[in-house]
Amino acid sequence: MKKMDRISITGYKPSGFVKKYQELIHDIMIPYQYRVLSNQEPNVSKSNVIENFKNAAKALRGEKHDSFYGMVFQDSDAGKFIEAAAYSLATFQDKELEKIIDEFIDIIAEAQDEDGYLNTRFTVQEKEKRWENLLEAHELYCAGHMMEGACAYYEATGKRKFLDVMERNAEHIYNKFIVNKAEGYPGHPEIELALMKMYRLTGNEHCLDLAKHFIDCRGVDPHFYEKERKARSWVVWGSNPSNYEYQQNNKPVRELSEATGHSVRAAYLYTGMADLASETDDKELFDACRRLWDNIVEKRMYVTGGIGSTHHGEAFTKDYDLPSDTAYAETCASIALMFFASRMLENEIKGEYADVMELAFYNTVLAGIQIDGKRYFYVNPLESIPGISGQVTSHSHVKITRPGWYDCACCPPNAARLIASLGQYAYSEKDDTAFCHMYASGDVEFKNGLKIECKTEYPYENTVNYKINGNGNMAIRIPNWSEKYTVNKNGAEINPENKDGYIYIPVCDGDEIGIELDMTPRYIYASEKIPYLTGKVAIAVGPTVYCFEGVDNDGDVFSLSVDTSKLPVVEEYDNDLLGGTRKMTVKGFKKEAQKGLYTSKAPTYTEKDLTAIPYHLWANRGENQMRVWMTEK
């Protein structure tokens, strides 16, 4: 059975909300991140990524060079940066940016060893330690991100140099692990999904075989990392090789049923598994993916689409352990969740996958970026407490304003590449059917010949309109939060069948399809199994979760409670508020201040209008309190 295909990298030209963010990526984030990678941006953590590649080339030539600088996975920032730039070039013609990337690729190519190996950490220093520490050294992880960047740049420009470099690198890895039968699998999964991209782009069967090998052998010998540790005398961080669940190697992947361990690694692995299941029609592998998906979205995911609830190992913990004030919810983890959702859609067309993809995007992913494009969240809490967040040991990971960069800078370029490539998540196709998974305004060209123009002010408006060029079928997702909706075709209301969250409509050249969704503000109540949220309520409009900040509520949100007997009112769109958004007025109460730490006197409450803003825009106006889950009264 033919799987669903993503549209081409050049198949989507954005407008509206998406264009605003893609312009932010192109105009601000990519130039800013290049300055960081080349050590030209003052007052941020040193990156040294480009210098590491230059020094690796010098080392290969036997020339004097500086030491490697940065995290062991520093090369991955290069791959993600080039990938983001490639997607941006596919949307915005920019000869200067293309020249910068071409020159960067020349530098990278010079750093590749003659046997195809490419990793600056071990080329610059300790060449003899290559492939000795799969658990910690991230060689396969870095290779995966570089492969993704190479694929994207070839698709955007038609230039093969970087792709040829990474094909040589893939052959080196193939020879190491398949021809020469070296044991092991990635400590940080990622290369699996990257190899699938390489295979689909190049047709190189070795990439498919290698992806399958790393997935199939994982966890078959859960003691591999312990044996590897005994065989070497050095460590990177001193990771515990016996922490099987943390490393997702406690059992073969087809037997997994709970999402465990480092949340980004887990979701990258599950993405690769779902990708392989789709390509090879592996039902057993997909069944495992489905169990893992259910465990995440039914028991281990925040209302904002965040995953990974503890800073200890950036990891999943137990079912229903979803604290708000100490949430980790790494930006990269929600990006990885979107990857997983998109690959699940390729296996079976169900709206629930796109629902989660949309939830993660409009909330946690976008929250990772300041509206100026120059500051970023790694961690995305659902509650911010000045004086405690970032200061108390238990909350040390929680920032209340976004830093400019990180020593571990995985999230900024990851967010850039995801947003720049959003069209490939919003739209796909199968045979003569064009699928609309997310409402992304702009022009879309499908490989099957259909073209559509989507006009919408989503997520701030409830109407979506499509103008059709060509003949075929459209499948449009209806979100699970929209209890009511109307569909019209050429001005006449129709009632197409809703199958697993999608409506299917035959279309002809010149047709116009209109969707009207129910964006009535709604209260969200948590399962009684989440102990932290007893008596709490959250508020959402469409895909957007709202939060309350002190700056809008006299500096204090923790004394406030929400009157759920009255519906909130979403105000008119304000171009001047946080770059353009809609705030919300909510009826509620303010608890009057009491004397003393504790008292026997019953509290008094004053009726008050409360103000909320979209969660993804919090922390753009300095340090102040923030809360998503409010006390219900």
Are 615 and 546 found together in one domain? yes
Q: 540 and 575 share a domain?
A: yes
pLDDT at 333 over 70: yes
- The long-range contacts involving 565-569, CB below 8 angstroms and separated by at least 24 positions, are 567/520, 567/521, 568/521, 568/539, 568/612, 569/521
**540 and 622 share one domain:** yes
At residue 413, the pLDDT reads 86
**Distance (Å, whole) CA 63 – CA 56:** 10
For 460-483, b where at least 16 C-beta lie within 10 A, e where not — what string?
Answer: bbbebebebbbebbbbbbbbebbe
pLDDT of 373 strictly over 80: yes
Residue 60 to residue 113: CA distance in whole angstroms: 7
Please state the rounded mean pLDDT for residues 98-104: 98
pLDDT per residue over 386-420, tens digit each? 999 999 999 989 999 888 877 666 788 899 999 99
Per-residue pLDDT of 8-43, as tens digits, reads: 999 999 999 999 999 999 999 999 999 999 999 998
* Pair 440, 426: CB distance under 8 Å: yes
Structure tokens at 205: 């069967």
> How many other CB atoms sit within 10 Å of the CB of residue 529?
11
Look at residue 306 and tell me whether its pLDDT is greater than 70: yes
Pair 560, 589 in one domain: yes
Q: How many domains does the chain have?
A: 2
Q: Mean pLDDT, the chain, as a whole number?
A: 96
E strands, 295-422, are 383-384
pLDDT tens-digit map of 418-464: 999 999 999 999 999 999 999 999 999 999 999 999 999 999 999 99
At 260-305, the pLDDT tens digits run: 999 999 999 999 999 999 999 999 999 999 999 999 999 999 999 9
Q: Is residue 199 part of a domain?
A: no
Residue 393 lies in a domain: no
pLDDT tens-place string over residues 174-212: 999 999 999 999 999 999 999 999 999 999 999 999 999
| pLDDT number for residue 403 | 83
CA nearest neighbour of 610 among 517, 530, 537: 537
Instruction: Give the pLDDT of residue 620.
Output: 96
Reply yes or no on whether the pLDDT at 353 is more than 70: yes
pLDDT per residue as tens digits for the range 455-494 = 999 999 999 999 999 999 999 999 999 999 999 999 999 9
Centroid of chain to Cα 493: 36
Question: So what's the pLDDT on residue 406?
Answer: 72
Q: Are strands 472-477 and 433-436 parallel, antiparallel or unpaired?
A: parallel
pLDDT band at residue 2 using 50, 70 and 90 as cut-offs: low
- The reply to whether 621 and 530 lie within a common domain is yes
Which residues are the active-site residues?
Answer: 314, 410
Share of the chain above pLDDT 70, in %: 99
Does one domain contain both 569 and 599? yes
Statement to judge: residues 511 and 483 lie in one domain? yes
> Is a pLDDT exceeding 90 seen at residue 544?
yes
Is the model's pTM score more than 0.85? yes
Q: Is residue 58 part of a domain?
A: no
Distances (CA, A) of 199 to 167, 187, 208, 212: 10, 22, 6, 11
Rounded to 5 degrees, what are φ and ψ at 282?
A: -90, 95
Task: Read off the tokens for 633.
Answer: 């009264």
38 in any annotated domain: no
The answer to whether residue 209 sits within a structural domain is no
Q: Are residues 549 and 622 in the same domain?
A: yes
Report pLDDT for 286.
98
Let me know if residue 562 belongs to a domain.
Answer: yes
Average pLDDT over residues 39-49: 91
Tens digits of residue pLDDT in 566-596: 999 999 999 999 999 999 999 999 999 999 9
pLDDT band at 549 (very low <50, low <70, confident <90, very high): very high
Closest CA to 355 of 176, 477, 467: 477
The pLDDT, as a whole number, for residue 409 is 64
Mean pLDDT over residues 517-521, rounded? 97
Q: Residue 430 belongs to what domain range?
A: 426-517
Residues 6 or more apart whose CB falls under 8 angstroms from that of 610 comprise 548, 553, 560, 562, 585, 586, 587, 588
611 shares a domain with 527: yes
Could you tell me which residues come within 8 angstroms of residue 363 by beta carbon, excluding any fewer than 6 positions away?
Answer: 304, 305, 306, 334, 543, 544, 545, 615, 616
Q: Is residue 622 in a domain?
A: yes
User: What is the spatial distance between Cα 249 and Cα 65, in angstroms, rounded to a whole number?
Assistant: 38
CATH of the domain at 448: 2.60.40.1180
Query: Does 616 share its domain with 563?
Result: yes
Return d(Cα 210, Cα 215) in angstroms, integer.
9
Query: Domain check: are 560 and 509 in the same one?
Result: no
**What's the pLDDT tens digit per position in 598-633?**
999 999 999 999 999 999 999 999 999 999 999 998
Q: Which of 502, 517, 532 is the last residue of a domain?
A: 517
> Where is the domain boundary, 473, 493, 517?
517
What's the confidence (pLDDT) of residue 227? 97
| Residue 226: how many other CB atoms lie within 10 Å | 15
Residue 271 lies in a domain: no
Residue after which a domain boundary falls, among 490, 517, 544: 517
Judge if 626 and 564 occupy the same domain.
yes
